[in-house]
Amino acid sequence: MSATIFGPRIMLIGGGSIGRVGEVLQKLRVSRPLIVTDPYMVSSGMIAQLTDPLSKAGIAYDVFSETVPDPTTTVVSAGTERLRSGGFDGLIGFGGGSPMDTAKAMNILAAHGGQMRDYKVPNGVDTAAVPLLCIPTTAGTGSEVTRGTVITDVETDEKMLVMCLAGQADAAIVDYELTMKKPFRLTADTGIDSFTHALEAFVSQKRNPYSDSMAIAAMERIGANLKTACFEPDNRAAREQMMLGATQAGLAFSNASVALVHGMSRPIGAHFHVPHGLSNAMLLPAVTKFSLESALDRYAQAGRLIGAADAKDSDETAANKLLDWLYQTNEELQVPTPPAYGIEEAKWTGLMETMASQCIASGSHANNPRIPEHGEIVELYKQVWAANR
């Protein structure tokens, strides 16, 4: 069986690599980029880590900083108009997953018009308007190397997955030093997000030898460094390993697809505005427990890779040690349950049927080792509410 592998044309990885942004843009033949970022990057002054080397390289730029967490069609439309009217010949997505996903969506709309819902899975396109450089400032989404972007349709409250070649960045700069000041909650949520990417890619029904190699490397790195990065935020070695692990996990799932956790997570983000990494963390133990017997050997291997189990453990024991590690990690990293997060029970239960339908419509559930029926997804939402073990 052959596998088609996608990734950026250029990847610059390592501490301080953002200082070479001018060199990367030159290779892309970009002389006037529009930077897509969020208000905090501007107000905190962190954007200077990008704009200073741009100015030093003599590259003119402008900034679109109106992105929001869980990017919306409204913001994408505004950004697209800015891209079209400003005479820009390139885009830079700078920040977490939201700015990078917004830049991808803008690039698709600027090239093809219409509405973002026109391009959601399975309807994709292969070409974008201008070269795109993605620079992550969190060790989580892997969006810098994936073909995916997730945009919330404000008219339907649907968190839409767009997965196509037009969503692939042309280049990525992965500089772990950009993550050194990230707080505990963000480090924890993005770290669990990246582990979810790797684990789901590893058990996905669309996996292949290349995605396996990236998922294995990512799980080893994240398993060994996640808690250190959270509890020792100045630990440069842990930050570097988490950043590389997040990128490897992005390459894994972009080439194997995510599964049920992500299918269930997107509706939670759309309806309750829970950050993506956090909603993944809420779901991961329960969904893994549901799926365990259908890919016991794979989950067992994951348990060994992260050090929760060892070679002498049977597959059943190793897989259950992985599950215990997931529950324990959520406890140690203070991942809240939906009610602890402040979600109203009546609204959660009232939307479970809708969320299950949206999960199925995304298609991600069909990549899971155990493919759930609608009613089983509803039951999983019930379990996640109560955080049942």
253-270 residue pLDDT tens:
999 999 999 999 999 998
Q: Which residues of 75-87 are buried (b: 16+ CB within 10 A; e: fewer)?
A: bbbbbbebbeeee
Residue 1, pLDDT > 80, answer no
Averaged confidence pLDDT in the chain: 95
For residue 4, which phi and psi values (nearest 5 degrees)? Answer: -90, 125
- Please give the pLDDT value at position 41: 95
Q: pLDDT digits over 270-328, tens only?
A: 899 899 899 999 999 999 999 999 999 999 999 999 999 999 999 999 999 999 999 99
Using only C-alpha atoms, the chain has a radius of gyration, in whole angstroms, of 20
Q: Please tell me the distance from the alpha carbon of residue 128 to that of residue 90, in angstroms, as a whole number.
A: 11
Beta-sheet strands, E only, within the chain:
10-13, 33-36, 62-64, 90-95, 132-136, 148-153, 158-163, 171-174
Dist. CA 381–CA 348, nearest whole Å: 9
Question: Once rounded to an integer, what is the mean pLDDT over residues 58-66?
Answer: 97
DSSP for residue 372: P
Residue bearing tokens 């992985």: 322
Can you give the pLDDT at residue 28?
Answer: 98
Which phi and psi angles does 94 have, rounded to 5°?
-125, 115
Inform me whether the pLDDT recorded for 389 exceeds 80. no
pLDDT band at 388 (very low <50, low <70, confident <90, very high): low
pLDDT at 366: 95
Looking at residues 58-85, what average pLDDT do you find? 96
Share of the chain above pLDDT 90, in %: 92
Question: CA angle, 86 as apex, 80 and 90 as ends, to 5°?
Answer: 75
**pLDDT confidence bin for 189, thresholds 50/70/90:** very high
Q: Residue 70's pLDDT is what?
A: 85
Q: Mean pLDDT across the stretch 99-125?
A: 96
Give the mean model confidence (pLDDT) for residues 19-30.
98
Residue 255 · residue 215 · CB < 8 Å: no
C-alpha dihedral sign at 194, 198, 204, 208: positive
User: Higher model confidence: residue 131 or residue 3?
Assistant: 131
Mean pLDDT, range 230-235, rounded to an integer: 96
pLDDT digit string (tens) for 192-223? 999 999 999 999 999 999 999 999 999 999 99
**Mean predicted confidence (pLDDT) in 70-95:** 96
pLDDT tier, 158 (very low <50, low <70, confident <90, very high otherwise): confident
Q: Is the per-residue pLDDT at 73 higher than 70?
A: yes
Q: 343-368 pLDDT, tens per residue?
A: 999 999 999 999 999 999 989 999 99
121-125, 156-160, 221-225, range with the lowest pLDDT: 156-160
pLDDT given at position 387: 79
